[in-house]
Amino acid sequence: MARRDSIMSKPKDTRGALRRLLRELGQFRLLIALVAAMCLCSNVLALLGPSLAGQAIQEAAAGPGQVNFERVTAYALRMLLTYLGSSLLTILIHMTMVNVSKRVARRMRQQVFDKLMRLPVGYFDRHQAGDIISRVSYDIDVISTCMATDVVSILTSTVTVAGSLVMMLSISPPLSAVALVTVPLSIGYTAHMRKQTQPRFVKRSRSYGAMNGFVEEMLSGQKTILAYAHEEAVDERFAGVNQDAAQAYYDADSLGVTIGPTMGFINNIGLSLIALLGSILYMNGLINIGAISSFVLYSRRFSGPINEIANIINELFSALAAAERVFGLLDEEEELTDREKAQTLADVRGDVALDHVAFGYEPGRRIIHDLSLKADAGRLIAIVGPTGAGKTTIINLLMRFYDVDEGAVTVDGHDVRDLTRRSLRGAYAMVLQDTWVFRGTIFENIAYGKEDATMEEVVAAAKAAHIHPFIMRLPEGYQTVISEDGGNISKGQKQLLTIARAMLYRSPMLILDEATSNVDTGTERAIQKAMRELMWGKTCFVIAHRLSTIQNADRILVVSDGDVAEQGTHAELMAKKGMYYRLYQAQFE
């Protein structure tokens, strides 16, 4: 298990992620250039401080009665002004980079969300919603924070190190040579630690994604958890997931926090050598006390940024790990584009056929083997069968959420692969067993598929779906706001709202996948009758488990193991006393 975790946590393309992050920053090259110029000015002012301090100390070292306090005061005042100017520029630098990071984060979130809208259904079948949300929120936040702070630190540190080195060389080349002795050691140590810590940050990001996925899954099933008194078991499972995430965080940071102190120790070795050689040079009259003071201050400014870079390297690795996850999502294969000469489905009659279709979600695992069926325009086709028989898979193929492996699905004689997806899906209205409503008014939820819908049309659809009386009992009627995911209405009421939405949507074909499973049988029959009236002359596909509600279907298809085992009207199938007959009788025993 540990070996598998290490493989899963290994960075895939850190350099590529870094290049792409730099390209994102490249959109703001003028602001970055301005920040670089301000960094240069800020550090030049800050680098004047040690020189002025050395001159003030040298002036004060003249001895009692010989010190010119006016000159010492002038040096001190100039130091104050240079450091004040440096600080003000630093504030402007950070404000500018916060603005840049905000805009980069907004742009990346928009890119990710746009990408999610173009991904195939299969991607969401394979990935937890919580993990996807983690990439949109947590990972992009990590990247944004890095850009707001670490980029500035790197720019500032680079200028400081270069400027300090120049000033150190100008004061004393021998002391500078001693100061540089520890640089290769620092670089070698940092490179070694990068290899050790980066995989841990990749693992940390993935662990947080897994934890978010688990939390999202448990929250969506909270009522079921309570109903089965499963709280303690879920608590224990979360404790395990939480422990994994906490351990991943600890493994990354516990090693990372050693970098700063170790680099500080290496730098202090250099400082000790400077003190030793500086004393020797001073005793031999080769350097004065003011120059030594300035050199020590410059050496601290030289080593400080190296130490700071070592400290922020953890955040950089964390940001690169997060960037890999975000860019990994952006690089996912999108839903296949329409064929070059794909036609727009227009003037739809509604003749639908599946011709010797074979399909499997995974290679080598067929769910549908050799399925053929025909639905004439304006007919109500019911699809029944045991769980796992392939009923919902048929709907996925009709809507072209997936393409068939063999055979063909046709609408009005056109292979759906030769049609644009938008026009094909626009020809269907669809109501699923898993209802979806959004935060907004009831009117907006019903009119979701028809932007120009009038109140009269919405009311007519609501009446047909038998939800109008409930709506009118609400304080604000159709202007009542539904909370997120419809938390303030029942599941059955949410289902009726989605049925009303489908009724309002002007489409020549309708798909109902267990769409009335959360309403009582009497209401379901009334809705079915209303649907037949509203969808007159349109092709309807109904997946149903309650066989009593589909007795009036024009044709009933009994699906078993990916094939049509029987088909006919309710009376014909009952007379055969085959599979449908047994299913029907089982529901009334």
List C-alpha distances in Å: 142 to 35, 251, 325.
21, 18, 12
Alpha helices in 420-563 (DSSP H): 421-426, 442-446, 455-464, 468-473, 491-504, 521-534
Question: Residue 409 pLDDT more than 90?
Answer: yes
Q: What is the predicted pLDDT for the residue at 228?
A: 63
Element (H, E) at 198: helix 183-220
Q: What is the predicted pLDDT for the residue at 311?
A: 62
Question: Residue 368 pLDDT more than 60?
Answer: yes
Residue of higher predicted confidence among 105 and 267: 105
> For the residues 425-435, what does the mean pLDDT come to?
81
> For the residues 542-561, what does the mean pLDDT come to?
82
Question: Residue 553 pLDDT more than 50?
Answer: yes
Question: Residue 128 pLDDT more than 90?
Answer: no
Q: What is the pLDDT of residues 374-387, one digit of tens each?
A: 888 888 888 888 87
Residue of higher predicted confidence among 294 and 463: 463
> For the residues 18-47, what does the mean pLDDT come to?
83
Tell me which residue has tokens 């922020």: 312
Question: How far is Cα 533 from Cα 515, in angstroms, rounded to an integer?
Answer: 17
Element (H, E) at 186: helix 183-220
Comparing CA positions, the residue from 49, 445, 459, 10 lying closest to residue 203 is 10
> For the residues 459-482, what does the mean pLDDT come to?
88
Name the average pLDDT for the chain. 80
Q: What is the predicted pLDDT for the residue at 407?
A: 92
Helices (H) and strands (E) in the chain, counts: 23, 12
pLDDT band for 227, please (50, 70, 90 cuts).
low
Question: Residue 517 pLDDT more than 70?
Answer: no
Q: What is the predicted pLDDT for the residue at 314?
A: 67
Question: Residue 527 pLDDT more than 70?
Answer: no
260: exposed, middle or buried (C-beta count within 10 Å: 0-12, 13-18, 19+)? middle
Question: Residue 99 pLDDT more than 70?
Answer: yes
Question: Residue 3 pLDDT more than 50?
Answer: no
Poorest-pLDDT segment among 97-101, 237-241, 524-528 = 524-528
Question: Residue 4 pLDDT more than 70?
Answer: no
pLDDT band for 123, please (50, 70, 90 cuts).
confident
Vertex 99: Cα angle to 95 and 102 (nearest 5)? 135
Question: How far is Cα 556 from Cα 461, in angstroms, rounded to an integer?
Answer: 27
Question: Residue 143 pLDDT more than 80?
Answer: yes
Q: How far is CA 281 from the centre of its chain?
A: 60
Question: For the chain, which domains are there?
Answer: 110-330 (1.20.1560.10), 352-586 (3.40.50.300)
Q: What is the pLDDT of residues 313-352, one digit of tens each?
A: 767 777 888 888 888 888 888 877 778 788 888 888 889 9
Q: What is the pLDDT of residues 296-316, one digit of tens each?
A: 777 777 776 766 666 677 677
Q: What is the predicted pLDDT for the residue at 307?
A: 62
> For the residues 562-577, what does the mean pLDDT come to?
87
Question: Residue 10 pLDDT more than 50?
Answer: no
Comparing CA positions, the residue from 521, 564, 586, 550 lying closest to residue 385 is 564
Comparing CA positions, the residue from 301, 312, 305, 306 lying closest to residue 257 is 312
pLDDT band for 394, please (50, 70, 90 cuts).
confident
Q: What is the predicted pLDDT for the residue at 534?
A: 60
Q: What is the predicted pLDDT for the residue at 8?
A: 39
Question: How far is Cα 67 from Cα 69, in angstroms, rounded to an integer?
Answer: 6
pLDDT band for 516, please (50, 70, 90 cuts).
low
Question: Residue 224 pLDDT more than 70?
Answer: no
Question: Residue 93 pLDDT more than 70?
Answer: yes
Asked if residues 196 and 203 have their Cβ atoms less than 8 Å apart, the reply is: no
> For the residues 54-77, what does the mean pLDDT come to?
70
Q: What is the predicted pLDDT for the residue at 415?
A: 92
Q: What is the predicted pLDDT for the residue at 410?
A: 93
> For the residues 258-266, what does the mean pLDDT come to?
75
pLDDT band for 9, please (50, 70, 90 cuts).
very low
Q: What is the predicted pLDDT for the residue at 7?
A: 34
> For the residues 535-541, what does the mean pLDDT come to?
78
Question: How far is Cα 204 from Cα 207, in angstroms, rounded to an integer?
Answer: 5
Q: What's the first-to-final CA gap in the chain, in angstroms? A: 49
Question: Residue 62 pLDDT more than 60?
Answer: no
428: exposed, middle or buried (C-beta count within 10 Å: 0-12, 13-18, 19+)? buried
Residue of higher predicted confidence among 293 and 235: 235
pLDDT band for 6, please (50, 70, 90 cuts).
very low
Q: What is the predicted pLDDT for the residue at 519?
A: 65
pLDDT band for 408, please (50, 70, 90 cuts).
very high
Asked if residues 407 and 358 have their Cβ atoms less than 8 Å apart, the reply is: yes
